[in-house]
Amino acid sequence: MEGCAITRLVPPDYRGTVEALRRRHGPTMLDGHSEPFDTLIATILSQRTRDETTDRVFAALKRRWPDAPSLADADVDEVDSVIHSIGFHRQKARGVVAAARALMERHGGRVPSTKEELMALPMVGPKTAGCVLVYAFAEASAIPVDTHVHRISNRLGWVRTRTPEATELELERRLPRELWLDLNSLLVDHGKRVCLPRNPRCGECPVRQRCRRVGVGARAGGR
């Protein structure tokens, strides 16, 4: 069976896997760098939220408060009324206003470009900081890890971790830095199209010969 030989592939072929995903999924989100402020606020809103909902709510928020000065002066209740359709809307309304105020007070309204300074902002953890560094600054100084990256990294056999935070540390320790920049975009895209949480489409997978299929049944996705 296809899965039997795959499990014997050691060590993981990081570079070959990333190149195969690039060929399959094409240009990544890095091809059009986002404004740092937009990336920061959109990523805060995206926490535990589907992308399509985030995009719609962020667009509505940006129409009212397009930059750090305007959002810093916003009333939290008004922000909440605009983003109320998103999950955890009250927490996020307080968070984005607090983040904008922190930017004005500490950085003159500009988004900082270091992980340490970003993580000192309200509502910013490792994933959000990593997304800002990668997508706004094109800095290969972090690997943002969400549920897709965490799941696929374990499924490939690259790591054996229980949390996204642990996965981030292991990936940054193991992968060559030149592979960091578009890894999040590639694995998120792959996780949405092919390597689904349930019933992954292994028969369509461009990296199936490099995948150890950890936790995946033998019949998943066909041959």
DSSP-assigned letters across all residues of 158-174: S---SSHHHHHHHHHHH
- Catalytic annotation, pick one of 38, 80, 146, 192: 146
Got the DSSP string for 14-61?
A: HHHHHHHHHHHH-S-GGGSPPPHHHHHHHHHHHTTS-HHHHHHHHHHH
- CATH classification of 34-136, choosing from 3.40.50.1370, 3.30.70.870, 3.40.50.1100, 1.10.340.30? 1.10.340.30
- Catalytic annotation, pick one of 31, 75, 127, 182: 127
Q: Is 77 a catalytic residue?
A: no
pLDDT of residue 214: 95
Is the four-CA dihedral 114, 117, 118, 119 of positive or negative sign? positive
Tokens 């809307």 -> residue: 89
| Per-residue tens of pLDDT for the chain, all 223 residues | 344 444 444 578 999 999 999 998 875 554 444 899 999 999 999 988 887 889 899 999 999 999 999 999 999 999 999 999 999 999 999 999 999 999 999 999 999 999 999 999 999 999 999 999 999 999 999 999 999 999 999 999 999 999 999 999 999 999 999 999 999 999 999 999 999 999 999 999 999 999 999 999 766 655 4
Cα torsion 139, 162, 45, 70 to 10°: value is -50
pLDDT of residue 52: 84
- In the chain, where are the structural domains located? 2-29+144-210, 34-136
Q: The pTM is what? A: 0.81
Fold of 2-29+144-210: Endonuclease Iii, domain 2 (1.10.1670)
Nearest to 195 by CA among 161, 147, 162: 147
Nearest to 186 by CA among 41, 19, 42, 9: 19
Q: Is 115 a catalytic residue?
A: no
**127 close to 26: Cβ distance less than 8 angstroms:** no
pLDDT of residue 218: 66
pLDDT of residue 30: 47
pLDDT of residue 27: 57
Residues in the chain: 223
Token pair listed for 49: 């939220």
Question: What letter does residue 178 receive in the DSSP assignment?
Answer: G
Cβ within 8 Å of residue 113, ≥6 positions away: 36, 133, 137, 139
